[in-house]
């Protein structure tokens, strides 16, 4: 728990103490609301391996993200293309916030998506997952045949039969996520991302927000939004709510190296470190089946599978290295304590 220590009782008369406690409680609540719970990807006691201790659903069997193994994907010709309404340019400001875990853009409820079974899902927010600029580690959440893309965008929607996102989020048919990958195309800047990326500078610290004019979500998406993979999964961050319909576009959007590096290195997290590698490792598929609405052509190689395998291993290695360091530190502290107590006893 962060924030100031609780007020010391007994030093002040009740009349001043009560409002002060109230103010402090409100402040603590504010800090908590801002920070959420202290989950992280790789730091501290509530890193992704321990999410399930606080958020049991994270340990269940329909989790996201997953590796999409294309040879096992079932082509379903009955799956119609998604119908996206209101995703084009809007003459309205979009609010964009650094929530300590990602950059999140609030979407207008006039935007909605109709999925193959006819359900209408209303857009709530869009956010990104990315890797590490210094080590050039890719940071998409889903992988395709083991390939991790540079970044991944999630457009979170809620079922229109519910009145609000809050009401829908715990219902089994409440949420749907439209996801797509970002890929590097060397030096050619993607102009549809320019404004979004330059605005990151104004939300460097968690809790900061800014307003961005005239965002065209449709243009920020891949050219072909028709082909997708779909499966039932979860939110990829705590509380890892399950039974979410995922629609992962097969086509990726291209951004320049500079744009990718800016996305990966501008924001800071709650511990004043660069907000990076904000992706969860892929989860077991268990008995789930991934379907596609297009025929997969297997002469198309997935890109750099070897390189990405190395990147994934690198993340694990860095974690081990950190744990080793922490253990070393613990040992040091322990032996110095022992030394001190020896001195005392002598
Ligand atoms: Zn996400």
Residue 101 a catalytic site member: yes
Alpha-carbon gap, residue 107 to 90, rounded angstroms: 11
CA of 42 to the centre of ligand 1 (A): 16
Q: Where are the domains of the chain?
A: 35-323
| Catalytic option among 35, 50, 101, 223 | 101
The one-digit pLDDT tens for each residue of the chain (346 residues) are: 333 333 333 233 334 444 444 444 444 444 444 444 589 999 889 999 999 999 999 999 999 999 999 999 999 999 999 999 999 877 789 999 999 999 999 999 999 999 999 999 999 999 999 999 877 789 999 999 999 999 999 999 999 999 999 999 989 999 999 999 999 988 789 999 999 999 999 999 999 999 999 889 999 999 999 999 999 999 999 999 999 999 999 999 999 999 999 999 999 999 999 999 999 999 999 999 999 999 998 765 544 445 555 655 666 676 667 666 666 665 555 555 555 444 444 3
8 backbone dihedrals φ, ψ, rounded to 5°: -80, 130
28 backbone dihedrals φ, ψ, rounded to 5°: -60, -40
The number of helix segments (H) and strand segments (E) in the chain equals 7, 16
Residues with CB under 5 A from ligand 1 (ion): 154, 236
Strand pairing report for 151-159 and 175-184? antiparallel
CA of 265 to the centre of ligand 1 (A): 18
CA of 47 to the centre of ligand 1 (A): 16
CA of 141 to the centre of ligand 1 (A): 8
Structure tokens, 136: 């050039």
Q: What is the DSSP string of 203-268?
A: G-STT-EEEEES--HHHHS-S--S-EEEEEE--SSTT----EEEEEESS-EEE-HHHHHHHHHS-B
- Chosen CATH of 35-323 out of 3.10.20.340, 3.40.50.460, 3.30.70.1140, 3.10.200.10: 3.10.200.10
CA of 332 to the centre of ligand 1 (A): 39
Four-residue CA torsion sign, 196, 205, 270, 272: positive
**How far is C-alpha 332 from the chain's CA centre?**
36
CA of 36 to the centre of ligand 1 (A): 16
Alpha-carbon gap, residue 250 to 179, rounded angstroms: 9
Q: Are residues 67 and 143 in contact, defined by beta-carbon separation less than 8 angstroms?
A: yes
Q: Would you say the pTM of this structure is higher than 0.85?
A: no
Alpha-carbon gap, residue 163 to 140, rounded angstroms: 31
Q: Are residues 256 and 186 in contact, defined by beta-carbon separation less than 8 angstroms?
A: yes
Whether omega before 239 lies within 30 degrees of 0, making that bond cis, reads yes
Alpha-carbon gap, residue 5 to 284, rounded angstroms: 42
């Amino acid at each position: 728990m962060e924030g100031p220590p609780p007020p010391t009782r007994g030093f002040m008369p009740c009349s001043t103490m009560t409002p002060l406690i109230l103010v402090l409680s409100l402040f603590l609540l504010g800090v908590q609301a801002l920070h959420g719970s202290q989950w992280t990807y790789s730091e501290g006691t509530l890193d992704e391996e321990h999410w399930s201790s606080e958020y049991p659903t994270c340990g269940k069997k329909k989790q996201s993200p997953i590796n999409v193994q294309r040879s096992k994907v079932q082509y379903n010709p009955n799956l119609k293309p998604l119908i996206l309404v209101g995703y084009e340019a809007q003459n309205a400001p979009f609010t964009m916030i650094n929530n300590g875990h990602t950059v999140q853009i609030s979407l207008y409820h006039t935007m909605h998506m109709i999925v193959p079974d006819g359900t209408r899902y209303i857009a709530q927010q869009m956010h990104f997952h990315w890797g590490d600029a210094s080590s050039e580690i890719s940071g998409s959440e889903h992988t395709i045949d083991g390939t991790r893309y540079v970044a991944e965008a999630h457009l979170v929607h809620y079922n229109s039969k519910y009145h609000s996102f809050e009401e829908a989020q715990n219902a089994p048919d409440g949420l749907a996520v439209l996801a797509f990958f970002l890929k590097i195309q060397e030096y050619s800047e993607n102009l549809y991302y320019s404004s979004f990326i330059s605005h990151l500078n104004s939300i460097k610290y968690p809790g900061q927000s800014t307003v961005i004019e005239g965002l065209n979500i449709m243009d920020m998406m891949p050219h072909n939004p028709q082909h997708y993979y779909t499966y039932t999964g979860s939110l990829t961050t705590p509380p890892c709510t399950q039974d979410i319909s995922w629609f992962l576009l097969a086509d990726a959007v291209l951004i320049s190296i500079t744009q990718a590096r800016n996305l990966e290195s501008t924001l800071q997290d709650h511990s004043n470190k660069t907000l990076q590698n904000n992706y969860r490792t892929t989860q077991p598929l268990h008995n789930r089946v991934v379907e596609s609405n297009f025929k997969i052509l297997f002469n198309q190689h997935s890109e750099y599978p070897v390189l990405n395998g190395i990147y994934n291993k690198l993340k694990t290695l860095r974690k081990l290295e950190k744990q080793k360091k922490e253990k070393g530190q613990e040992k040091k502290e322990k032996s110095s304590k022992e030394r001190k107590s020896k001195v005392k006893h002598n």
